Amino acid sequence: MYMKQNKITESLTVVKEIQKNPGEQSQVILPREMLKHNYNELEQHYFIHDLQNLTSGFPENENIYILGHEVTEDFPRHNHDFFEMSYVCQGEILNVIDDVELYMNPGDMILLNQYALQEIRCINPKALLINICIKEELFSRTLKEFVMDNNPISEFLRHDNREKQKYMFFSTGYSREIPVFMNNMVEEYTQAGFHQTFSLEAWLLLLFDSLVKSGRYSYSGIDKNALKIIQYIQEHCIHESMERMASELGYNANYLTGYIKKHTGRNCREIMKEARLKEALRLLADTALSVYEVSEACGYASPSHFFRIFKETYQMSPKEYQRQIHKNTMQ
């Protein structure tokens, strides 16, 4: 683990080793770029390289702790005495919670309670995580009313969820809000000298509120079979219908939709929409195709439908995006 010398006395709290003791283009991509920039600032102060060296306590009188986590190797089984929210900033990881394998991609997030036994396996050495560690004492402050509210995350935080699960999985790679919240939290934390502030608590509350409003959560997560299905849908949805893809995978279309919902908290239509938009972004940036041709190549029924979906998602038209990309390329 690397930390600046003046911060060693304020390092992360208990990690128990179970093995040892049984408007422009920037509107589209700026949030993630800023997040990676501020992640680098975080890295200079708090960065995990070896969980086995995390033995000291939370910063005194503070209930939120944020650090960067570079997954260049496997991390052994462990648990915490605090809630932990892990956000995949870059790359992919295999998160094993109580022997359940969960595949996490950029933008995915998982919330763990104190009873979850976790292993992290390296499947991409460039993977970067942001960990937000939260002590229950925070729930008597800014989050007090939220924790007592009637919603799935609040129930989880007070150990009152009917599923009695030790984790909640959020497939949020589609979201434009989540990287903004994460960026603002990391930026606030670094600018405050790596200390808890009321603004930091407020951003955490906004993050939780956004996750609640989305309604997209899962107590299962993306296992190996779910990952295979999602990847198949992403690769074939441009030219194949939901019914055809389900048939090819050996499922009934309704069952497949329910299966994806269970494991991601989202429906297949959303995943198909994202895959088409991702391909549209690529074609608009890397080819000389017209907007009409891009629309057709991405499987949209009409250019007007493509235009509406694109503008709703990125707050600019396909043509405006294309112009901005080409303008940046010329600079």
* CA-based nearest residue to 136, from 206, 69, 205, 84: 84
Q: Same domain, yes or no, for 209 and 260?
A: no
The answer on 102 and 70 residing in a single domain is yes
Q: Mean pLDDT of all residues in the chain?
A: 81
Whether 272 is in a domain gets the answer yes
Specify if 47 maps to a domain: no
Q: Is 161 within 8 Å of 152 (Cβ atoms)?
A: yes
The set of residues, in sequence order, having a beta carbon less than 8 Å from that of 293 and lying 6+ positions away, is none
Residues 203 and 263 in one domain: no
The sign of the torsion formed by the CA atoms of 161, 163, 169, 174 equals negative
Same domain, 154 and 297: no
Residues 181 and 248 in one domain: no
Indicate the pLDDT class of residue 142, thresholds 50, 70 and 90: confident
Whether 9 shows a pLDDT value over 70: the answer reads: no
Instruction: Summarize pLDDT for 60-92 with one digit per residue, the tens.
Output: 778 998 888 888 899 888 888 899 999 998 899
**93: left (phi > 0), else alpha (psi -120 to 50), else beta?**
beta
Tell me, what CATH number does 150's domain have?
A: 2.60.120.810
Quick check: is 6 in a domain? Answer: no
Over residues 199-245, the pLDDT tens digits come to 999 999 999 999 999 888 999 999 999 999 999 999 999 999 999 99
CATH code, 309: 1.10.10.60
DSSP notation for 238-273: TTS-HHHHHHHHTS-HHHHHHHHHHHHSS-HHHHHH
Residues 209, 296 within the same domain:
no
For 93, 110, 141, 155, 289, the CA distances from 106, given in Å and listed in that order, are 9, 12, 31, 26, 28
User: Which pLDDT score, from 0 to 100, does residue 161 have?
Assistant: 67
| 246 vs 163, higher pLDDT | 246
The verdict on 80 and 212 lying in the same domain is: yes
Confidence of residue 330 (pLDDT cuts 50, 70, 90): low
- Flag the least confident range among 1-10, 43-52, 106-115, 318-327: 1-10
Q: Are residues 199 and 78 in the same domain?
A: yes
* pLDDT confidence tier of residue 253, bands split at 50, 70 and 90: very high
Number of domains present in the structure of the chain: 2
Residue finishing a domain among 184, 218, 252 = 218
Q: Domain range spanning residue 276?
A: 224-329
User: Are 277 and 318 found together in one domain?
Assistant: yes
Residue range 94-116: average pLDDT?
93
96 lies in the same domain as 214: yes
Radius of gyration, CA atoms only, the chain = 21
Of 179, 203, 218, the residue that ends a domain is: 218
The pTM for the full model equals 0.76
> What are the structure tokens assigned to 280, written together?
């549209």
Give residue 163's pLDDT. Answer: 62
